Chains A and B, each alone.
Chain A
Amino acid sequence: MSGESPMPAATADLAITWAFLEEGVDHIMTKLQTGVSYSKYISLYTVAYNYCTSSKISHTSSDVGIGGLSNRTGANLMGSDLYNHLIRYFVVHLKNLREQTEVLQEEDLLRYYAQEWDRYTTGANYTNRLFTYLDRHWVKRERDEGRKNVYPVYTLALVQWRNNLFVPVQQKHTKLAGAVLRLIEQQRNGETIDQGLVKKVVNSFVSLGLDETDTNKACLDVYREHFEGPFITATEKFYKQESESFLAEHSVSEYLKKAEERLKEEEDRVDRYLNTQTRKALISKCEHVLIREHAPLMWDSFENLLDFDKDEDLQRMYALLSRIPEGLDPLRKRFEEHVKKAGLSAVSKLGGASTAEEALDPKAYVDALLEVHQKNSETVTRSFRGEAGFVASMDKACRDFVNRNAATGNSNTKSPELIAKHADLLLRKNNKLAEEGDLEGALNRVMILFKYIEDKDVFQTFYTTKLSKRLIHGVSASDESEASMISKLKEACGFEYTNKLQRMFTDMSLSKDLTDSFKGRMQQNHDDMDMTFSVMVLGTNFWPLNPPGHEFVLPAEILPTYDRFQKYYQQKHSGRKLTWLWNYCKNELRTNYLNQKYILMTSSYQMAVLVQYNKSDTLSLDELIAATSIPKELMTQILAVFAKAKILIDQETDQYDLNPGFKSKKIRVNLNQPIKAEVKTETADVLKAVDEDRKFVIQATVVRIMKARKTMKNQSLVQEVISQISQRFAPKIPDIKKAIDTLLEKDYIERVEGQRDTFAYVA
Chain B
Amino acid sequence: MAGALPLILAWQLDSKEMGKFTQNEWLKATSKLKISSLPPLVTALSDLDNLLILNQSLVKSNPKTDPYDRGTYLNYARNIKEAYQRLYMFCFNLAKPEQSKNIDMETSAALWSVILSPKYPVMQEVLEFISENESVYKATNKDLWTMMLEFCETVKPDLQDYESDGAWPTLLDDFVEWKKAKVT
Residues of A within 8 A of B147 (CB): 756
The answer to whether B102 touches A740 (Cβ under 8 A) is no
Are B102 and A718 neighbours in the complex by a CB distance under 8 Å? no
Of the residues A737, A757, A759, contact of B173 by C-beta under 8 Å? A737
Does A645 belong to the interface (CB within 8 Å)?
Answer: no
Residues 134-151 of chain B, each 1 if its beta carbon lies under 8 Å from chain A, else 0: 000000011110110010
Nearest chain A CB to B141 CB, angstrom units:
4
- Cβ-defined partner of B102 (8 Å) among A714, A734, A745, A747: A745
In the complex, A756→B162 CA distance in Å? 13
Contact with A along B158-178 (1 / 0, CB 8 A): 000000011101100100000
Give the docked Cα–Cα distance between A715 and B154 (Å).
Answer: 19
If A734-B173, A741-B143 touch, whether A756 touches B166 (CB-CB below 8 Å) is: yes
Q: Which of A745, A746, A747, A759 contacts B167 (CB 8 A)?
A: A759
Nearest B residue to A758 by beta-carbon distance? B167
- Chain B binding surface, main DSSP class: helix
Known: A715-B165, A740-B167, A757-B166. A745 touches B101 (CB 8 A): yes
For the complex formed, measure the closest distance between the CB of B158 and the CB atoms of chain A, giving whole angstroms.
Answer: 20
Q: Are A744 and B141 in contact (CB under 8 A)?
A: yes
Confirm or deny: A751 has a beta carbon within 8 angstroms of a beta carbon on chain B: yes
Q: How far, in angstroms, from A737 to B166 measured CA to CA in the complex?
A: 10
List which A205-253 residues lie within 8 A (CB) of chain B: none
A741 to B167, CA, bound (A): 10
Count chain A CB atoms within 10 A of each CB in B102, B143, B167, B173 and give the residue with the most.
Answer: B167
Residues of A within 8 A of B169 (CB): 737, 741
Cβ contact within 8 Å between B170 and A744: no
Please determine whether A744 and B165 come into contact, CB atoms closer than 8 angstroms.
no
Which residue of chain B lies nearest to A714 when distances are taken between CB atoms in the complex? B167
B170 touches A738 (CB 8 A): yes
Residue on B with the closest CB to A745?
B141
How far is it, in angstroms, between the C-alpha of A718 and the C-alpha of B147 when the chains are bound?
Answer: 19
Across the interface, B143 reaches (CB within 8 A) one of A751, A757, A758, namely A751
Interface centre among A718, A738, A745, A757 (most CB of B within 10 A): A745
A734's contact among B143, B144, B154, B170, by CB below 8 Å, is which? B170
Interface residue ranges of A714-760 to B (CB < 8 Å): 714-715, 718, 734, 737-738, 740-741, 744-747, 751, 756-759
Q: A745 contacts which chain B residues (CB < 8 A)?
A: 101-102, 141-143
- Report Cα–Cα, A756/B165, bound state, in Å: 12
Residues of A contacting B170 in the complex (Cβ-Cβ under 8 angstroms): 734, 737-738, 741
Inter-chain contacts of B141 with A (CB < 8 A): 741, 744-745
A206 to B91, CA, bound (A): 93
Q: A741: which B residues are within 8 A, CB to CB? A: 141, 143-144, 169-170
Question: For residues 78 through 136 of chain B, which have their beta carbon under 8 Å from a beta carbon of chain A?
Answer: 101-102
A-chain residues with CB within 8 Å of residue B167 when the two chains form the complex: 713-714, 740, 751, 756-759
Residues 692-724 of A contacting B (Cβ, < 8 Å): 713-715, 718
What would 17 A/B residue contacts be, using CB atoms closer than 8 Å? A713-B167, A715-B165, A737-B169, A737-B170, A738-B170, A740-B167, A741-B144, A744-B142, A745-B102, A745-B142, A746-B101, A751-B146, A751-B167, A756-B147, A756-B154, A757-B166, A757-B167
**Top 10 A-B pairs ranked by shortest CB distance?**
A714-B167, A757-B167, A745-B141, A744-B143, A737-B170, A757-B166, A738-B170, A715-B165, A741-B169, A741-B170
